[in-house]
Structure 1
Amino acid sequence: MRRPIRTSSRRPGIRGCGAARRIRYCLLVLGASCCAAVLLACTAEERDDGPAVPVRPAIARSVTPDTVDAEARKPGGNREDPPRVDEAAPRPTIVFLGTSLTAGHGLPESEAFPALIQDRIDALGLDYRVVNAGVSGDTSAGGLRRIDWLLRLPIAVLVLELGANDMLRGLSPARLRTNLETILDRTLEAHPNVRFVIAGMRAAPNLGEDYTREFDAIYPELAARYSAALVPFLLEDVAARRRLNQADGIHPTAEGHELIADRLWRTLRPILMDEARSQRGLPDPEGPRLAGPRSAIRLDDDLPRHLAVE
């Protein structure tokens, strides 16, 4: 006698669950792969573990009214090409190489401190052009990748503002030092008479004593080695003050940029006046100076240690 064929309601259900699991698994793998690809794409440009490759700068714009185009006037706007240089009569250029602090993140370009420096230069009748080469999120490695592109400009002064993002990401201070040294060396090689201004940063205290000590020592030591003017902490009297920073608590407001411009101008003005006297053959009002490397200009050595970009 044949046995009756049994039907089970469980088998189709089991097969259905297995198929659903396989579909969910495939979707999970696909989603993870997409996320990984996005993360790699976002971080590839800022890798700090190999030789820097010169690339076109994301932003390198002049802040003088006659050379800034409509795109560069947008808040945070970028330009693909560096400012055009009039080869027939190039103007001495002051390049601000830095991060979003230099770029004036969240503000019209005219309110960022490089533009405010240009206003002060123009008020004195000095023939210098300011170029804002600040890039949001840039590390010292990013600045190194961009420097060769900027060296085509007739650089008279390089204001170096890099390191804040290295510190915020916990990147190696040794690598930061090497990158900054390479930037300075390449600039000197291309422009032997260039003057340097180093805008220092302070490490956040939560990174530990060893990191803070090594990071903070970089800027004064580089200033001494390269006979550079030194602003020990660019954000003094601005960092951690709510009124002077935007909602993110990191990027200065227009009022904050005014204070930064005042601080930098105290360093830049004597340099530019000295260069102007040299070009015109005028005597130094302070009398003859001894031959030798320029001494580093130090401002406000007694900065509060707790003020740092957070």
Structure 2
Amino acid sequence: MKLFLVASLVLVTGTLSAQTDASSDSSYANGYYVERVKYFDSLHPIKKSIVFLGNSITEVGAWAEVLPGEQVINRGISGDNSFGVYARLDQVLAIKPRKIFLTIGVNDIKRGTPIDYIVNNYERIAAKVKAVSPRTKLYFQSVLPVTESVLANIYVKITNSKINQLNERMKAVAAKYDCPYIDLHPVFVDDNGQLRRDLTTDGLHLKQAAYILWANYLKKEKYL
């Protein structure tokens, strides 16, 4: 009996340790992330702007050009995940943005982060926005589909099945915190549920023309 209890304790401790590691992923904080955050700190953006927040898919977007007439700020960082967004959220909220369009989660999937942990980060992000800048409107944008047949091996963990599961959970978080959920699949998905091949460079990242479609969709649906 004593041996059983010891074995059980070891098993539970190991499980908790693994959960702690997965739930406190700091792999986002590489040199590029640090330099990008420093760069953002050196700027003096106009308050009450519209912020696009996310990873490389956000960073590559020429948002100010595809949304002329709007005061738009790009806060995308290549390689970022939901942990990294939460870690720098104070910096974003300091300017009291009018709107935040959040697109994050695909790099979490790439790294094998359990969906429960990603969803927990969505909740932490939503709760912090509500607490720190309650007049800011947070929009949860769905994680975009991928073209699985052309993805490089480094993206092997990213599947549309996982993306769809995550988006369903994201939608529930958005409803819980009274945040609009924007399903971008009507813009980007083909008849087979894949990212449209004509809109992607590598099955994951977007061609510049895709951002025009994205911006037009946001305007058509009255999010902007």
- With structure 1 as the length reference, what TM-score do the two structures score? 0.52
Give the aligned residue type for 1:229: P
> Do residues 265 (structure 1) and 219 (structure 2) align?
yes
Given that residues 199 and 234 in structure 1 are in contact (C-alpha distance below 8 angstroms), is that contact kept between their aligned partners in structure 2?
no
Task: Answer 1 or 2: which has greater helix percent.
Answer: 2
Q: Does 1:151 align with 2:93?
A: yes
The answer to whether 1:59 aligns with 2:36 is yes
**CA distance 1:192–1:82, shift in 2 (3 Å):** farther
Query: Which runs of 5 or more residues in structure 2 are unaligned?
Result: 1-20, 149-156
Change (3 A) 1:259 1:137: same
Once the two structures are aligned, what percentage of the paired residues are identical? 24
SS at structure 1 position matched to 2:171? helix
Matches within 5 A, 1:1-310: 48-50=22-24, 58-59=35-36, 79-81=39-41, 83-85=43-45, 91-104=47-60, 112-119=61-68, 122=69, 129-201=71-143, 211=162, 214-233=165-184, 236-237=187-188, 240-246=195-201, 248-267=202-221, 270-271=222-223
- Distance, in Å, in 1 between the alignment partners of 2:104 and 2:223 is 21
1:234–1:83 CA distance, 2 compared to 1 (3 A): farther
Q: Tell me, in whole angstroms, the C-alpha distance in 2 between the residues paired with 1:150 and 1:241.
A: 31
1:214 Cα deviation (Å)? 4.1
Number of equivalent positions: 186
Residues 1:79 and 1:188: Cα distance change in structure 2 (over 3 Å): same
1:95–1:155 CA contact under 8 A, matched in 2: yes
**Match for 1:228: what amino acid?**
C
Amino acid of the structure 2 residue aligned with 1:132: N
Alpha carbons 1:116, 1:258 under 8 Å: kept: no
Q: Which has the higher contact order (CA 8 A, sep 6+)?
A: 2
Larger radius of gyration: 1
1:150 to partner: Cα distance: 1.6
TM-score in terms of structure 2 length: 0.69
Determine the C-alpha separation between the residues in 2 that align with 1:210 and 1:245: 19
- Alignment CA distance shift 1:145-1:235 (3 Å): farther
Task: State the shift of 1:200 in Å.
Answer: 0.6
> Displacement, 1:139?
0.7
What do you get for the CA RMSD once the two structures are aligned?
3.2
